Amino acid sequence: MVPYIQAKGVTLTFRPKNRDPVTALQGLSLEVRRGEFLTLVGPSGCGKSTFLNVLLGLLRPDDGDIQLDGRKIAGPGYERAMVFQEFGLLPWRTVLANVELGLELKAVPAAMRRGRARDLINLVGLTGFEHHYPHELSGGMKQRVGLARALATDPEVLLMDEPFAALDALTREEMQRLLVDVWRETRKTVIYVTHNVAEAVYLGDRIVVLTPHPGTVRAQVRIPMPRPRDTLSVEFLEYQREVVSHIVGR
């Protein structure tokens, strides 16, 4: 069976003016199944975010390529959407208008896009806040809006770059539970970057560990635990230890 996402030998070097070149990714190869929740971890600077930007089509590798459902990724497309750590909401637009943005850019009729946006606002638990502005929302609520906005155009793949890193611990746990619920509801293919090993184990079907830069795949750990996962169980803690051992290279 052909993998849904297949990265083959992806190499990318940044060449800033008046500075030495920096190779962010070196021969990275990786396969992702349709509907899989993949978490990506590794030391700072190992190319995790760079890899997401290649997947999104914002960066082109110097060598190798990435295929989505058998087609080479050559640029951005509506079948992929990104959720960033920075909320990126437009401050002059309400929650409803922010969620509608992608549909508006696709020229979806107003009534249809409003209905779709309201359904997603309900899915992420923000019913009643449709007409609030970003400055009236907490950090967790803003990230819920960001998730709803990313889902609005019904992408096949959801790319998430440390989306909960700026949240307090309790809100982060709440958002992790919400994300699992949304993923089970929508069955999107998710690639989620995080520095938090516990988060990676809680969320992922599989964890991919990258090497220090230049980034390539060091190890892959499958997490067959049923959801919701008990973060205090011996099994959960053992998976954490295994992933940490790969990150530190033991």
pLDDT of the chain, 250 residues: tens digit per residue: 568 999 999 999 998 888 888 899 999 999 999 999 999 999 888 899 999 999 999 999 999 999 999 999 989 988 999 998 777 889 999 999 999 998 998 889 999 999 999 999 999 999 999 999 999 999 999 999 999 999 999 999 999 999 998 889 999 999 999 999 999 999 999 999 999 999 999 999 999 999 998 999 999 999 999 998 999 999 999 999 999 999 987 6
Which residue ranges make up each domain of the chain? Answer: 5-79+155-248, 89-154
- Name the DSSP letter for residue 238: H
Instruction: Give the tokens for residue 148.
Output: 């709803």
What is the pLDDT at residue 2?
64
Q: Could you tell me which CATH class the domain 5-79+155-248 is placed in?
A: alpha beta
What is the pLDDT at residue 1?
56
On whether the CB atoms of residues 40 and 192 are closer than 8 A, the answer is yes
CA distance 34 to 172: 26
